[in-house]
Structure 1
């Protein structure tokens, strides 16, 4: 039984999530504010966390930072705001994904299932497949085999490798633009989002079967990028 912690100050949402998750076999604990959430997490060690950003005592980002001080538990953020700034801050702090209120219960449950599956997978895999391409992260080598053709080597620049590796090391997770820029180019480049558009386009041309309709290197408009295995 998967241990889940749900944190929200709206009683109706807290109740709905507790009922729906319990009905699907989750062992659910709840908290209505940030400090209680951190205490419950420390006592019960959840395997997944659903966290509202708009809490009465602490901002959700502070709760994420508190959790990330000692655990890598998957965190799904709930945001009631249409703008992306809070969600980007949450992702930069260590959240794994987000859902905007009002949300579809089916979507939320699907995202939770995916997060739980990924959390049980080894994070040291060095060979990753993207459609026709096979990426060996340890050897820094890429091979591509298109239908009817012989396998061929694909050359990536150091920067392309940097972008690709950050995404491949977080399968299924949304990586914010700021995080990707900071990790590849450095903290002084957090606003240079045009760099990302250029390099993702190059990677798709080199790795995806159909760069115009990518299946693996995906864009979340205004938010960031995601590698879908």
Structure 2
């Protein structure tokens, strides 16, 4: 990489922090380390890292509190790296604005892949906000956001209004897990019942229309107990 992407590692365990730092530096990243939530909150605006790796079990404040505070003023990619592997913690972190969630212990390949995805997703989001990206393409799936058109291998797919909104929402966040409650709020509004049944029914209909094999999807994946993730775009 020409310009070294800067990663902020927020981890209070020296062994884990040193391991992550060594891995990132060996792969061409610039790294900043800190061990408390207060340090993280102060370092983010002063150093503007491309990605934050955030542990939840910090000594001075819970990592979720750090995430909540950071999300009040920046959309910088935050990947939670935590020993809390239960679905409740994952959902809570993602609903508070985390871009991804890795459970300890993890492999270096997984960590690096998640960081690359977060950086790509952030760059894509910036392109969309600047009006530079009006399509989504991945493995034969094409979504033209200007024309409200969805095709698979050149064949138009007829979606209902709700189905298109769901596909569009996921396609604007490729590679990122969107929780059930987040999707329901975005599509049906903040006062909609948080009932996953209507969402599952619509998603089943979408998969029948988009996927060659709805049971083994290529485009939209289920994160069991958490939400859905769209394939990364080409």
Q: TM-score scaled to structure 2, two decimals? A: 0.88
SS of residue in 2 equivalent to 1:120: helix
- Identify the residue that residue 80 of structure 1 maps to in structure 2: 83
1:8-23 matches, cutoff 5 A: 8-23=11-26
- 1:139 matched to 2:142? The reply is no
Aligned position for 1:99 = 102
Structure 2 residue 132 is matched with structure 1 residue 129: no
Cα shift at 1:155: 2.0
Distance 2:90 2:195 in 1: 19
Q: Counterparts of 1:21 and 1:130 in 2: how far apart (Å)?
A: 28
Over residues 119-157 of structure 1, what are the superposed CA-to-partner deviations in whole Å (9 max), with x where a residue is unaligned? Answer: 223235222235444222222222344xxxxx5432211
Q: Matches of 1:207 and 1:130 in 2, distance apart?
A: 12
Shift of 1:208: 2.1
| Runs of 5+ consecutive residues of structure 1 not aligned to the other structure | 146-150
Q: Which runs of 4+ in 1 moved over 4 A?
A: none
Partner residue in 2 for 1:205: 208
SS at match of 1:98: strand
Q: Distance in 2 between matches of 1:172 and 1:190?
A: 26
Q: Aligned with 2:7: secondary structure? A: strand
Residue 117 of structure 1 and its aligned partner are, at CA, apart by 2.6
Task: Answer yes or no: is the 8 Å Cα contact 1:133–1:144 preserved in 2.
Answer: yes
State yes or no: 1:172 paired with 2:180: no
The CA distance in 1 between the partners of 2:230 and 2:78, in whole Å, is: 18
Count of aligned pairs between the two proteins: 224
Aligned to 2:116: 113
Residue of structure 2 aligned with 1:69, choices 63, 72, 84: 72
1:187 Cα deviation (Å)? 2.7
Q: Where does structure 2 lack aligned partners over 5 or more consecutive residues?
A: none
SS at match of 2:216: coil
Q: CA deviation at 1:53?
A: 1.4
Preserved contact between residue 205 and residue 211 of structure 1 (Cα < 8 Å): yes
Equivalents in 1 of 2:41, 2:33: separation in Å? Answer: 11
Root mean square deviation of aligned Cα: 1.8
